[in-house]
Amino acid sequence: VSEQFLVRSYRGDYRVRIDQDESPESVFQGKIRFHVIIDSKVAEIYRDQLKKTLENDSVLIIQANEGNKTLQNCVNYVAKLLEKRIKRGNRILSIGGGVIQDISCFVSSILMRGIEWNYYPTTLLAQADSCIGSKSSINFGGIKNIVGGYYPPTEVVINPMFLKTLEEAEIRSGLGEILKICALEGESEFEKIAASYKALTASGPLLQRFILLSLNLKKSYIEADEFDTGQRNLLNYGHSFGHAIESSSGFAIPHGVAVSMGMDMANWVSARLGFEKGRVFDKCHATLFENYKMSKDVAICPEKFLSGIGSDKKNSEQGLGVIIPVGGWKFEKKWLKPDKAFQCACTEYLEGLKK
């Protein structure tokens, strides 16, 4: 299977390909000098398939965790690349999930005012969602994703081989983002993935179809609004609630799993506050629950949740900026006051999880 498309960006078009056969090593055939940035776990699991990559004369192996995605650590990565005499015209070859993507994107954007980078996403979340959209998100001073910019790769190659070794939680995390984009697309798109949900496995061609669908749906948002000032905001559906769920659980719930719980909660709160009659909640709940049920018993402190959602970077003077269904399967950004009614709806939802 080989499928490809172009994404339009302020830096020019970039190509995205799904290709079972293409190894990251194929880039070494040209004249360009590459500097590899790779996830340590991927380097270990795929050491045979990536032999040539790991023998390259410049390889930066990084453990994928939030602590390694800080601005301070990016200084070290820049230093290491300069030690390897990185020059304008060289390229970064990035292999890993969202953490490695954020580091590679950010470092590529600041080195010599920007060098090209090729990306091989290795998690489902990165393959189906984060690999397009240009954003880099770097942590600073204990605040997640507070530094960054927009700097798309030159090329993205999606090799489904990588998905076979992911833990179940990582698969569910990627599925959370796929469920989100399908829900935003409309009721019938959501019904399709709901009907296929149980049959989705890391090695199946069905998952590949949904990866491609997810990217194609996301493409229209980012092409229309790359810098996230309007329509792209809708991709934050499930995210304000989801980020507060992540932080109040002490990051025990993977991002995309928290997003699926956050969508469920957004649908619930919307119905409770009378924006919608509860139809979206009823239609989506069973599938969303399937996706986050492995984390439903993780303790989420309601006070921490409410303070977390209150400090979301998308809030303004007008209130909490959340994406919710507003009737007729339509999603909109609404500014909600964190008043008693809102707090009750959230607490009620969180207590319902324990049943």
Ligand X SMILES: NC(=O)c1ccc[n+]([C@@H]2O[C@H](COP(=O)([O-])OP(=O)(O)OC[C@H]3O[C@@H](n4cnc5c(N)ncnc54)[C@H](O)[C@@H]3O)[C@@H](O)[C@H]2O)c1
Closest alpha carbon to 322 in 308, 302, 301, 303: 308
Tell me the CA distances in angstroms from 125 to 119, 190, 231, one per residue in order. 14, 18, 21
Structure tokens given for 345: 């709806």
- Kindly indicate which of the ranges 51-59, 120-128, 210-218, 237-245 contains the residues binding ligand X, using the contact rule CB under 6 A: 120-128
Cβ proximity to ligand X: between 33 and 144 the closer is 144
| Position among 38, 92, 170, 208 found at the interface with ligand X (CB under 6 A) | 170
> Which one, of 99, 218, 105, 122, lies nearest residue 171 by Cα?
122
Q: Which of these, 116, 76, 113, 74, lies nearest to 94 by C-alpha position?
A: 116
The residue number whose beta carbon is nearest to ligand X equals 98
Of these, 109, 118, 137, 247, which contacts ligand X (CB under 6 A)? 137
User: Which residues fall within 8 angstroms of residue 205, CB to CB, at 6 or more apart?
Assistant: 1
Asked if 14 touches ligand X (CB under 6 A), the answer is no
Can residue 135 be called a binding residue for ligand X (CB under 6 A)? yes
Q: Which is nearer to ligand X, 160 or 325 (CB)?
A: 160
Structure tokens at 346: 């959230």
Part of the chain binding ligand X (CB under 6 A), chosen from 30-38, 49-57, 62-70, 205-213: 62-70
Span interacting with ligand X, options 11-19, 91-99, 152-160, 201-209, rule CB under 6 A: 91-99
- Host H or E run for residue 336: strand 331-336
Please identify which residue in 97, 160, 176, 308 interacts with ligand X, judged by CB under 6 A.
97
138 binds ligand X (CB under 6 A): no
* Whether 92 contacts 34, CB under 8 Å: yes
Dihedral of CA 261/169/132/312: which sign?
Answer: positive
133 lies in the site for ligand X, by CB under 6 A: yes
Using CB under 6 A, which of 53, 123, 159, 291 touches ligand X? 123
**Contact of 104 with 69, CB cutoff 8 Å:** no
Contacts of ligand X in 26-45 (CB under 6 A):
39, 41-42, 45
| Under rule CB under 6 A, residue 20 binds ligand X | no
Residues that bind ligand X (CB under 6 A): 39, 41-42, 45, 64, 66, 69, 96-100, 102, 122-123, 125-126, 130, 133, 135-137, 145, 162, 165-166, 170, 173, 255
